[in-house]
A and B are shown apart, each in its own frame.
Chain A
Amino acid sequence: MDFEAMREYLPLFKDALALTVRIGWQGVLLAFLIGIACAIIQHMRLPVLRTVAAVYIELFRNTPLLVQLFFLYFALPKIGLRISAELCGVLGLGLLGGAYMAETIRSGLESIAPIQSESAQSLGMTGMQAFRYVILPQAVSRSVPGLIANVIFLLKETSVFSTVSLMDLMFTAKDLIGMYAKTMECLTLLVVFYLIMLLPVSVLGSLVERRLRHAEFGP
């Protein structure tokens, strides 16, 4: 193992990590927003919108991120829609993640018995108040393990960004291997940097989960 070379590569990996984290979190945030919107639309059975949401979810859940990125990056320009590689990454991750988040949140919403909403409404709450104060908080806390799994999954999926020439972690490792053939060193660094990015998410996620689920499930 050539530690000298690894030390030389470090700054490149750091830059790549910064880019991966930046795009990754923007994508995850977008995924959350899309997911919550779709889940609420489906839960409330809003006409038309719920069909749109269902089509969207099936479309993006059943195609690989790689294909979605290629579509955004290489096909859309052919019809005059050119977007930057970085925006492609955020959009691709957000759209794929949105479909997963929607299903996770929806399953949380559906796990809350209708009588919870009825007992809230019989106290004089409107349907919206019952949803906001009684149903949603319970649904979110039940969805937390699934949501955290989705976040980790999405952040790992950033590794396909290299295919649209974003200089993320994967791209950097492949690039360096191509130039210097230090395969072992580069891949070790790659593993370490993915762990640096994701382990805190895992740990933080467990803490959030314990905090949110404390009321219902105890310590």
Chain B
Amino acid sequence: MENALLEIKDLKKAYGEHVVLDDLSLAVNKGEVVVVIGPSGCGKSTLLRCINALEDIQGGQVLLDGQPVLRQAKNISRTRQKIGMVFQSYDLFPHKTILDNILLAPMKVQKRPRAQAEAEALELLDRVGLADRKDDYPRQLSGGQKQRIAIVRALIMHPEILLLDEITAALDPEMVHEVLQVVLDLAKNGSTMLIVTHEMTFARAIADRVLFLEGGRIVEESADPKAFFARPATERARQFLRTFEY
């Protein structure tokens, strides 16, 4: 565990009296894909937002490469470059073309020359099958296409870890597939990922480790996703998984 890329120790997050994350601890190793599942309101998304310091936390700490991730720290924007995040609602910049959406951060934050960043952007676009849409605006793309662009936009920063926050929750079933295919490819190439999802078949296919979260705590953890989805150890996880059957 010493060489964990991301380490979360006793993380506590509360909105007033309402405790969302209750002394949660978790580590993600380099190259590992960890999937977090659980009922709505269990703190999954909040967990990802805390890791990226988009939320103030009330206790505990988040360590990336052994360095604390602090919201108020001067170097927080430098730290965030190492953490790629993709949101449920894509959140592309609507006033910029697809290419400029992808190039904005590499050029303004990493100060990379346009030609070099553009070459990489086109390569990534090609990988997700959207090279021909580079001059379009986000409004001209479908949800699934926008989400693939959002993934490319995160990837071009060369993050050490990717946080995916219910990235298919707002998509039609057909589009879910095209987006998840991209994520599966990333996993195959050794990307480190922490994924929050409601797609159980996807979770089973991609996870090295599954966490079942409820009430801000990890109720069950399994390094054998196939076994977990077939026979969860806890009654609560069993109940939860049953809600996906009809």
Please report A residues at the B interface, Cβ cutoff 8 Å: 115-116, 118-126, 129, 133-134, 137-138, 141, 215-218
Does any Cβ of A come within 8 Å of B200's Cβ?
no
User: A123–B153 contact, CB under 8 A?
Assistant: yes
User: A137–B95 contact, CB under 8 A?
Assistant: yes
Count chain A CB atoms within 10 A of each CB in B52, B109, B153, B154 and give the residue with the most. Answer: B109
Other-chain residue from B84, B95, B104, B154 in contact with A215 (beta carbon distance below 8 A):
B95
Does any Cβ of A come within 8 Å of B87's Cβ?
yes
Closest 8 CB pairs of A and B: A124-B81, A123-B105, A119-B91, A122-B85, A124-B109, A216-B94, A215-B95, A126-B77
Count chain A CB atoms within 10 A of each CB in B77, B83, B89, B97 and give the residue with the most. Answer: B77
Please report B residues at the A interface, Cβ cutoff 8 Å: 52, 54, 77-78, 80-81, 83-85, 87, 89, 91, 93-97, 104-105, 108-110, 137, 139, 150, 153-154, 157
Min C-beta distance of B72 to chain A, whole Å: 12
Min C-beta distance of A201 to chain B, whole Å: 24
User: B54–A121 contact, CB under 8 A?
Assistant: yes
For A121, the chain B residues whose CB sits under 8 A away are 54, 77, 80
User: A124–B94 contact, CB under 8 A?
Assistant: no
A217 to B54, CA, bound (A): 29
Other-chain residue from B81, B89, B95, B97 in contact with A123 (beta carbon distance below 8 A):
B81
For A129, the chain B residues whose CB sits under 8 A away are 77, 108-109
Other-chain residue from A115, A122, A137, A218 in contact with B80 (beta carbon distance below 8 A):
A122
For B95, the chain A residues whose CB sits under 8 A away are 137-138, 141, 215-216
Other-chain residue from B85, B105, B154 in contact with A125 (beta carbon distance below 8 A):
B105
Given A122-B54, A123-B153, residue A133 in contact with residue B108 (CB < 8 A): yes
A218 to B95, CA, bound (A): 11
Given A129-B108, A133-B108, A216-B139, residue A122 in contact with residue B52 (CB < 8 A): yes
Find the B residue at minimum CB distance from A137: B95
Can you spell out 13 A-B residue pairs with CB atoms less than 8 angstroms apart? A116-B93, A118-B54, A120-B93, A122-B154, A123-B80, A124-B81, A124-B109, A129-B77, A138-B93, A138-B94, A141-B95, A216-B94, A217-B139
